A and B are shown apart, each in its own frame.
Chain A
C-alpha cells in the first residue's frame, strides 16, 4: 500500500510538470497580448518595452524560462510574480483559496446530501409519481447552466436586487474568520447554484445504482434474515450503491476547486476562479500558470485520495 501511494505521488509530480509545460507552451507560443507592452502602459517606447521584457525574463529562450520557473517551484515553492500587480503569485493564490474552498466544500455537502437522499427515495419509490417528478426536476437542473441559474437565483432572492429579498446578493462574501454568520449566509445561494447540477446527477446515479443493488442476492439474504426493510435498504443496499458515488465525489471536488470560475464570477466571490479569469484578461501568465497548476494539483490529489479511499470502502480492492 505504501509503495503504491509513493508510486502514485511520483506519477502525480510528473503529471504536474507536464501540465506546467503545456500551459507554458499554450500561453507563450500561441498568440496573446505581449505582457511587456501591456505593462509599459502609456510609455510605449521600444527601449522601455525591451527593458521590461528583460526584467520579466521574457527575452530568454523558452526552455530557459521554463527551467527558471520549474526551479523556482521545486526549490522555493515560488510561483513567480504577477506581471500586472507585481504581487507574489503564491500569496495571491493562498489569499483566494479559502473562498474557493468554502464554496466548493459547502457545495459538495449540499449536493451530496440532497443528491443521495433524493436518489434513495426515488429508487425505493421507483416508478411512482414522486420518482418521476424527482427525476424530471433533476433533468432540468442537469441542463441548467450555472451562470444562468446563478443570475435567476440572484434575481429572485438577493437582498439587493431580488424579488424576494432573502439572502445577501453578489459581492457579499466575507471570510469565515472575520464573521462566520455572514460567511454562511453569503454562501447559501452560491452553494445551491454550485450544487444544483451535481446534486441532480448524483440523484440519478444513486437511484440507478441502488435499484441495481436491490436486485442482488445479498439483499434477498438480508431480507431472509428478518431485518427491517429500512435496514435492508440503508445498511445493505445503500452501502453498496454509494461506492461509485464517493469515487466521483472526490473527482468533482478536485475539478471544482480549480474551476469554480462561473459561480465565483456571478456571485463576485474572490476565489481562484475569479483570479484566473482576471489574469486571462490581463495576459498575466504567472497567475494563469499558477492557477492552472493548482487546479491540476487538486485533481491529481483527489484522484489519489479516491483510489486510496476505495481500498477502505471495498475490502476486495487491494493495491500492490
Chain B
C-alpha cells in the first residue's frame, strides 16, 4: 500500500432513514479521506449528519433500518460490504469510537475495569489477569491517578473528565488505527476540555493513529485538526486544510460559524453574529442550495440551482459548494473580517439584497 493512500476513504456516502413522517436524508453524498496519523475535523450544527456519517463507518446505523449507499474504504476494504461478524472484528479493534456524554456512555452497573477488560477480551485472547493488567496500564496511559485502585471503581465514582479518559482508554484498548471522537469535549467543563484535547493529541503522537473529530465547536478543530470538513444538512459544503480554511473560508455557512464565536485576538467591541434561522428539516430540505433560506447573500436563482463541491481557484485542495463566484466571496469575507455586519458586506460587495 502506498503511503499516499488514505487510511479511510469515504466515497459518496448516503444514509437515509425511512420514518413515518418521510425519508430522512441524514447523509447526502459525502466524500472525505483521512490519512494515517492525521486528524480530520468534521464541523456542523446538530442535525447536520456528522454523527450519523461516523456511526455508519462502524456499522452502528445498520440496525436502525437505514438505507446506506456509497463506499467506506478502510485500508482498501469496503466496510459497507462486510458482514456483521467481519465488521465486529473491526469495531473497537481497528476503528474505535468515543462519544459525547461519558456518563451515559459507560454502563452504570459495571466497574470501569470490567468494561475495559471486556473491550480487550472482545478482540484478544488473553488471560483475565493479563487483561486486568492491561486495563490498569491503559488507565495510567490516559492519566488517571492511582489506576490500580481506580480500576475497580464504578463510573459514577469518576469525575466527568475522568470518565471521558476512561472512555478513551477503552477505545485505545486494542491500539486502533483510527479513532472517531464524536463531540468528545461537549459535555465537559472548559478547563477539562483542554486537558482531553491535549490527551488526544499526545496519544495520537504516541500511537500514530488517525483521528476523526466531530464537533460543532470550531475552537476544538482549530486546536486539533489538520483537515476540516464543514457539513450542512447532510452534505459537506466546504473542505480544506485547517490553515487554508481559517485563512480564507469560502462558504457563507463557515463565515457564520466563525463570526458566531468570540476570538481572543479580535477587538473587544467586535460583535458576534449568530446564524439566523434553524437547521433545516432533513425530510423536506430547502430546494437549490440547502443553505439559501439562512444565507444573507443568497440570490434568487440559489433557490433553484444545487451547488456542487468544487475547487477554489488557486487552491486545488480547498473545495466549496457555493453559487457565489470566487471574487464576490473574497470581497464578502474581506468585509466580514474587517468587522462589518452581513448587510454592510453585502452592500460593499455590490450584490443586490436578499430577494424579498
Contacts and interface: CB of A to CB of B under 8 A. Distances in A.
B99 A221 contact: yes
B200 interface: no
Interface string B47-70: 000000001001010000000000
A134 interface: no
A217 B97 CA distance: 12
A129 interface: no
Interface in B247-271: none
A240 B109 contact: yes
Interface residues of B, number: 29
B24 to A, nearest CB: 17
Interface in B75-131: 84, 88-93, 96-97, 99, 101, 104-110, 118-119, 122-123
A223 B91 contact: yes
Contacts of B88: 226-228
Interface in B325-343: none
B92 A216 contact: no
A316 interface: yes
B246 interface: no
A314 B93 CA distance: 30
A239 B154 CA distance: 15
- Interface majority SS (helix, strand, loop, mixed), chain A: helix
Interface string A221-251: 1111111110000001001100100000000
B294 interface: no
B99 A225 contact: no
* Most central of A223, A228, A243, A314 by chain B CB within 10 Å: A223
Given A225-B122, A226-B93, A227-B118, A236 B107 contact: yes
A182 interface: no
Contacts of A240: 107-109
Contact of B105 (A217, A227, A243): A217
B138 to A, nearest CB: 13
A315 B156 contact: yes
* Most central of B89, B90, B104, B167 by chain A CB within 10 Å: B104
A165 interface: no
B168 interface: no
A54 interface: no
A242 B93 CA distance: 30
Contact of B90 (A216, A217, A226, A316): A226
A185 B93 CA distance: 52
A220 interface: yes
Contacts of B101: 217
* Most central of A223, A226, A240 by chain B CB within 10 Å: A226
B170 interface: yes
B118 A225 contact: yes
Given A226-B89, A226-B92, A221 B156 contact: no
Contact of B104 (A216, A222, A239, A313): A216
A67 interface: no
A164 interface: no
A225 B92 contact: yes
Contacts of B96: 224
Given A226-B91, A226-B122, A315-B109, A217 B154 contact: no
A187 B101 CA distance: 51
A11 interface: no
Contacts of A316: 108, 154, 156
Contacts of B90: 226
A218 B122 contact: no
A160 B269 CA distance: 95
A125 to B, nearest CB: 13
Nearest to B60: A223
A243 B89 CA distance: 31
B148 to A, nearest CB: 19
* Most central of B107, B110, B118 by chain A CB within 10 Å: B107
Contact of B92 (A218, A224, A243, A315): A224
A314 B97 CA distance: 27
A205 to B, nearest CB: 18
Nearest to A239: B109
* Most central of B84, B106, B118, B170 by chain A CB within 10 Å: B118
Contacts of A221: 99, 105-107, 167, 170
B154 A218 contact: no
Given A226-B89, A226-B91, A227-B122, A220 B154 contact: no
A220 B109 CA distance: 15
Given A218-B107, A236-B107, A224 B122 contact: no
A281 to B, nearest CB: 49
Nearest to B111: A315
B99 A217 contact: yes
Given A220-B60, A315-B156, A225 B105 contact: no
A280 B106 CA distance: 55
Contacts of A217: 99, 101, 104-105
Contact of A224 (B91, B123, B156): B91
Contact of A218 (B58, B108, B156): B108
6 smallest A-B Cβ distances: which pairs?
A226-B92, A226-B91, A225-B92, A217-B104, A218-B107, A315-B154
Given A224-B60, A226-B93, A315-B156, 19 more contacts: A217-B101, A217-B105, A218-B107, A218-B108, A220-B55, A221-B99, A221-B107, A221-B167, A224-B97, A225-B119, A225-B170, A226-B88, A226-B89, A226-B122, A227-B122, A229-B84, A239-B107, A316-B108, A316-B154
26 contacts: A217-B99, A217-B105, A218-B107, A220-B99, A221-B105, A222-B107, A223-B58, A224-B58, A224-B60, A224-B92, A224-B96, A224-B97, A225-B91, A225-B118, A226-B91, A226-B93, A227-B88, A236-B107, A239-B107, A240-B109, A313-B109, A314-B108, A314-B109, A315-B109, A316-B108, A316-B156
Interface of B: 55, 58, 60, 84, 88-93, 96-97, 99, 101, 104-110, 118-119, 122-123, 154, 156, 167, 170
